[in-house]
Amino acid sequence: MTFIRINLRNTLFFLIASSFIYLAFLIWTAKDRIPEFEVQLRDVLSYVVLAAEMGGHAIVRTFAENRKLRVVEKSQMDVGRPELLTKADLISNHLMLSLLRRFPLLKVISEEKSEFLSEKDVEQYRADNYELWLGLREALSKFPSWRIPLARITVWIDPLDATQEFTEGLTQYVTVMACVAIDGKPIFGAIHSPFLNETVFGMVDHGLFDSNGLPISVPSDREDKLQKTILISRSHAGTVSDLIKRAFVNDSTSYVIEPAGGAGYKTLRLIRQSADLYIHTMAIKKWDLCAGDALIRSAGGVLLALDNGLPIDYSAKTAAATKTSDQIEVHKNGFLMTLRSPFSFYQRFKKVCLFFSDGYLLAEFRLNLARARLASKAEALLVRLVRQSPTFCLPKKSWSPLFGLKHRKSPKILPTLPSSPSNMLHQNARERGMTFGRE
């Protein structure tokens, strides 16, 4: 007779593992899963404004301590100048993120991704902001609040907007921005001007306020205004000036195009009615837009994408397989922002540039850049050929500052050249239907 000996230890382990698997199955298939973590919206808003002001105070102190800023190139957008990075960017970013970590599950998207600083490095820049927080709580009490699942909230922060101008000492353009988006829609924004010690924050459908809780009234537009101001980027303007001139060529009202630094600064100019339109046609990061989008909506205006005339989505769907980080963080098709007649402005630009939806401007820039690089390589090749073979020659009309490579159905017959390695290379190019020079 055979006896089966049961291993109690293995049996117990099997039962425990089976229980956990069954419990996970029940949770996954249940209609009502584990309740989501909820917060009071007003608590998040107060910390967002506090984070912007804390970052701004650190920027001012950093600038005062070391006027000769250490600057590095961080990255480069599709077009325009490289993006810069300073110590002030990192300190402001560290302080803002550390404050917003009071909500552990809060999704925060910041311009600065790398953490090069420790708590010890930034401690001297951390002020006692308890009284400031109490004041903000009082100011924000005018806004409604409700409990909301934290998973629906995304916070976008720009710890130092207008870094290019900051490195040049043009501190009037510098701002710190923070925005709260719910389900991808911007509902609250804060822009702090550190060198002016001014803060503007607002909630959609509830108006604008300063840091003392006083409402900010937006002046009504004067219909008899003889001249309007259009703001464009100071460092990433692209061809927007030409587009504006074409869009308003037959308009009875005169327009002044003013380059200015920082998306936050330009948003505040619109709110103060010292400018009428802010337009941008190049790629831009969403942390440069979200706070301004929320504030301009709070003031009764709108921000529209130039490719389709729709609002911009600020969702943070990082788990979506079809979206990369760049697709989430970058808006590539330009936008316009204004308090008055947004769709009228949009229609003007759409008539002039119907190619916005196809990314025509960006494609044109890249094509011209590729042509310039190719022409430069062709010119260098010709110089080498001439140096290697003194008898090498080209028709006179082909000489120009930049030589291009062109495909032709009927290749041009060039003069017979003496046999040499360089001539063989040139002969090979002709056999492929290509030639040097412009037609």
- Rg of the chain taking only CA atoms, in angstroms: 29
**Are the CB atoms for 244 and 279 separated by under 8 Å?**
yes
Q: Is 323 helix (H, G, I), strand (E, B) or coil?
A: coil
Q: What share of the chain is helix, strand, coil (3-state, %, to 5)?
A: 40, 20, 35
Residue entry with tokens 């911007």? 186
Element (H, E) at 236: none
Strands 185-193 and 175-182: antiparallel
How many Å apart are CA 284 and CA 77, to the nearest integer? 8
| Positions at the binding site for Mg(2+) | 111, 158, 160-161, 288
End-to-end CA distance of the chain: 101
Q: How far is CA 166 from the centre of its chain?
A: 17
Task: Report the distance separating Cα 192 and Cα 186, nearest Å.
Answer: 17
Query: Which residues make up each annotated binding site?
Result: 111, 158, 160-161, 288
State the Cα–Cα distance between residues 437 and 403, nearest whole angstrom.
5
Judged on CB neighbours under 10 Å (0-12, 13-18, 19+), 311 is middle
Q: 290 near 186, Cβ under 8 Å?
A: yes
Tokens of 25: 């199955």
What CA–CA distance (Å, rounded) separates 207 from 270?
15
Here the tokens at position 47 are 């910390």
